[in-house]
Amino acid sequence: MAQLLDDESIDEALVSLPGWQRVDNTLVKDVPVDGAAADDLEAAVAKVADELNHHPVIERAERRLRFTVWTHSDGGVTSKDVALAGRIDDAIAGTA
């Protein structure tokens, strides 16, 4: 089990994760993207998630993807989620 982060630790992590926000006990980011670019990004994030063995919830809506991360087994945000959010940002930037 991973250790849950306290509010202060989550706030500190969010400083280095632009566009991410805390929603209840999760971290969430909306990315404007559609068509083939959305498919490519989703595939890149799936690859990263497999490497980390930690998977986000990915929701597709018209012209955007929403990534939601939290550690289900611990019921909130852990360091694993912060790491995954950072790797998702790398995938968004095309560096994953």
Domains contained in the chain, CATH given: 7-93 (3.30.1360.20)
Residue 94: both structure tokens together: 């095309």
Give the model confidence (pLDDT) of 62-82 as tens digits: 899 999 999 999 999 999 999
What is the model's pLDDT at position 11? 97
Cβ atoms of 65 and 31 within 8 Å: the answer is yes
Instruction: Please tell me what DSSP assigns to residue 71.
Output: B
Closest CA to 66 of 47, 45, 36, 87: 45
Closest CA to 69 of 36, 32, 35, 20: 20
- Adjacent-strand bridge partners of 32: 64
What is the model's pLDDT at position 2? 80
Average pLDDT over residues 72-94: 95
Average pLDDT over residues 21-49: 96
User: Binning pLDDT at 50, 70 and 90, where does residue 95 land?
Assistant: low
CA distance 48 to 58: 13
Residue 65: both structure tokens together: 């993807």
